[in-house]
Amino acid sequence: MQIFFLLIAGLAGALMAVQGCLNSYLGEKLGLIPATFSVQLLGTVTIGLFFLLFSRKADLFSAVVQVPLYYWLGGPLGVAIIYGVATAIPKVGVGNATTGIIFCQLLTAYLIDHFGIFSQETVPFTGGKGLGLLLMVGGAFLLLRR
Q: What is the pLDDT of residues 8-60, one digit of tens each?
A: 998 998 999 999 999 999 999 999 999 999 999 999 999 999 999 998 777 88
Question: Is 77:18 a contact under the CB 8 Å cutoff?
Answer: no
- Per-residue pLDDT, 63: 87
Q: In the chain, what percentage of residues exceed pLDDT 90?
A: 70
* Helix-helix angle 127-144:94-115, to 10 degrees: 170
- Per-residue pLDDT, 7: 92
The count of C-alpha atoms lying within 13 angstroms of the C-alpha of 131, restricted to the half-sphere facing its C-beta, is: 3
Supply the pTM of this predicted model: 0.80
Q: What is the pLDDT of residues 67-108, one digit of tens each?
A: 999 999 999 999 999 999 999 999 999 988 988 898 899 999
- Per-residue pLDDT, 141: 82
User: Rg of the Cα trace of the chain?
Assistant: 18
Question: Is 86:71 a contact under the CB 8 Å cutoff?
Answer: no
